[in-house]
Structure 1
Amino acid sequence: MLVGMARAVPETHGEILAAAARRFAVTGYKGTSLQDIAREVGCSKAAVLYHFANKETLLAELMAPAIAVFQALDERMAGHTGPDAQRVAAEGFVDLAVRFRREIALLRGEFADLLQQPAFAHIQQISERLIAAFAGHSDRPAARIAALVVLAGIAEACAEFADVPDEELRPALLAVARRALEPTD
């Protein structure tokens, strides 16, 4: 390699993912270009494209572990109704949000736009089922409003309080969810 030249190909796929996560956290998904990511890694945009077909593919891989847990929660919620649905949904979503705080922070303010991308289209249906479970499958607008507010609040709190230890954050979030959600009996 010639002295002074940027590395042609990053050493690892992981370097690009880490750089993308840092850039998305600072400037958002829409505000970050593949060139920005390449610059942070110290390679060319072509090298980034060698590892990832496009920015959407990069984000999809970054989010894959969280999405897999979200899909598993969706499967656990199936068949539960009323207070049991609320409990399963609240405990599962709080666990997911606490575990994947960094990923939630990356999507802050851009979640609705990202759901429009093909790689994330199925997340919208799971989100709707999660809201329904949080509402105890009630058709009452008040129950659905409370569910949506609690979900958004959990996500926002996890992003905002990234430095609070899991063992403190989890019970605090569950307590708020229990107080805010209406009994469905």
Structure 2
Amino acid sequence: MVRTSTRDEILSVAAEQFAHSGFKGTSLQDIAARVGCSKATLLYHFASKEAIFAEMLAPAAREFAELSAGFAALDDRAAQAAAIEGFVDLVLRYRREISLIYDGTAQFLQEPAFEFLLPLTEDLCSVFAARSTDPATRLAAEVVLAGIVTVAIDKDDEGLREALIGVAKRALITPIPHDKD
């Protein structure tokens, strides 16, 4: 049986704790206790709670930034379609991490180590809205983004990707007929 390193175990336990109690609601002592090590051991591996969080989010944040960078050269509708598929794929690859980014936005995006994430989330919302400035369209994009993150966190994979993409496209791309008075 392969034993994970203490560092990997700290990251895994921290991810569970952050998902359960939020960034601010999780202490270094909480993480150390669950890992079965002292707070000093934890601090030997990571300088702070922010350092744990940053390392845990790094792969997802890097791919998030790459995804966002790819929209600049595309027209509004092409960028929107690419964003929907790309974001669904990103969420399915990094469910917990993306959930923390969206659930904890108000909590940790003020921290200097994470401030780069706010423009990425805002840009993605804009692209989901086909770069529209219409408040209702922007709100629909926010609802769809949040819905993707919320639904994907605890669902089985079979058919989930296609279902999430289909729902997002119907909600954002397909015009909804309005009743005529």
What residue is the counterpart of 2:128 in the other structure? 134
Classify the secondary structure of the residue corresponding to 2:103.
coil
Listed as ranges, the gaps of 5+ residues in structure 2 are 176-181
Q: Deviations over 1:33-91 (max 9, x none)?
A: 11111111221111111111100110010111110110110111112222101101111
Deviates more, 1:61-70 or 1:110-119: 110-119
| Structure-1-length-normalised TM-score | 0.85
How many residues are treated as equivalent by the alignment?
172
Q: Give matches, 1:161-176, under 5 Å.
A: 162-165=154-157, 167-176=158-167
Among 55, 70, 79, the alignment partner of 1:76 is 70
Deviates more, 1:18-27 or 1:55-64: 18-27
What residue is the counterpart of 2:178 in the other structure? none
Q: Deviations over 1:4-45 (max 9, x none)?
A: xxxxxx953112111212222332222211111111122111
| Structure-2-length-normalised TM-score | 0.87
* Contact 1:66 1:103 survives alignment (8 Å): yes
Listed as ranges, the gaps of 5+ residues in structure 1 are 1-9
Using a 3 Å threshold, how does the CA distance of structure 1 residues 11 and 67 change in structure 2: closer, same or farther?
closer
What residue is the counterpart of 2:107 in the other structure? 113
* Contact 1:81 1:137 survives alignment (8 Å): no
Classify the secondary structure of the residue corresponding to 2:159.
helix
Give the superposed CA RMSD: 1.9
Deviates more, 1:137-146 or 1:43-52: 137-146
C-alpha separation in 2, matches of 1:11 and 1:171: 36
Q: Give matches, 1:21-170, under 5 Å.
A: 21-106=15-100, 109-159=103-153, 162-165=154-157, 167-170=158-161
C-alpha separation in 2, matches of 1:181 and 1:32: 36
Q: Specify the code of the residue in structure 1 equivalent to 2:122.
A: E
Classify the secondary structure of the residue corresponding to 1:79.
coil
The share of aligned pairs that are identical, in percent, is 50
Q: Specify the code of the residue in structure 2 equivalent to 1:152.
A: A
C-alpha separation in 1, matches of 2:21 and 2:60: 21
